[in-house]
Amino acid sequence: MQLPSSLLENAVNEFAKLPGIGKKTALRLVLHLLKQDVTDVTTFSDTIAKMRNEIKFCQRCFNVSDGDICAICANSFRNQRLICVVETIRDVIAIEATQQFSGTYHVLGGVISPLDGIGPDQLNIESLTHRIQQEQTEEIIFALSPNIQGDTTIYYIQKKIQHLPCRVTTIARGIAFGGELEYADEMTLARSLANRLPVQQYVKS
C-alpha cells in the first residue's frame, strides 16, 4: 500500500504494531484522526503518553495505580487478610467486574514457565511470601490459568509458604455457566466430578 505522505505512513505503521490491527484498519483509524480537530488528536496522544509515563504499580500488590498504593489496597472496607493471587492486571479487572470479591490482590506478573525463560525470580513471588508473613494473611486464593504453568506456580508458592499459618485455596474449576456438558474436555469434566459440591452449597452460591 503506497501512501501519499510519509507522516501518514509513519502513523499507520505505529497503529499497525498494536495487536489485532492490520495495515488497512490502521489506515482507517489514522484517516479518522486526520478528520478530527488538532486539539482532540493532541489529547489522544498526550493521554496515551501520560498513561505510560506516569502510571505506577502498587508497591504492595503490583496492580496498576495512580499512587504508591492502589485504591484496592488502600480501601479499609476490604478484607486486607485475604489475598487473591493472579497473573496480570487484566485478571484483577475481570474479578473486580464480578463485584463478588472483597479481599485484596497480588499480581505475579506471569506464571513460572521454563520454556519461555520465566523462573520464580522474574515474578512477584518473593514479595508475596514476605507479605503473607508481615500481614498475617489468613487465606490466599490462587486464580491462575488452568494449565501446567499455572499448576507449577501454585505448587512452587505453596511449598514456600507451607510453614505459615495461612489457608491456601484455588478458584473452582468446572463446567462454565451456559457450557454444554458434552462439549467439556475430559480434564474439566473429571475435575468437576472430583470436586462436586453439596446441592445446598451450590444453591446458596
Please report, as ranges, the residues that interact with a second copy according to CB under 8 A. Answer: 1-8, 10-11, 14, 17-21, 25, 27-34, 36, 38, 41-55, 63-66, 70-72, 88-90, 92-93, 96-97
For 92, counting Cβ atoms within 10 Å of its Cβ (0-12 exposed, 13-18 middle, 19+ buried), the class is buried
Closer residue to a second copy in complex, CB, 11/111: 11
Question: Which CB atom, from 27 or from 141, has the smaller least distance to a second copy?
Answer: 27
Identify which of residues 97 and 203 has a Cβ nearer to a second copy in the complex.
97
Written as nine digits, the cell of 155 is 505448587
Smallest CA-to-CA distance from 137 within 168, 101, 95, 96 is with 168
Contact 189, 175 (CB under 8 A): yes
Shortest approach of a second copy to residue 22 CB, angstroms? 12
CB of 38 to a second copy, least distance (A): 6
Q: Which is nearer to a second copy, 30 or 144 (CB)?
A: 30
Smallest distance from a second copy to CB 57, Å: 10
Contact predicate 120/156, CB 8 Å: yes
Task: State the residue for C-alpha cell 496522544.
Answer: 45
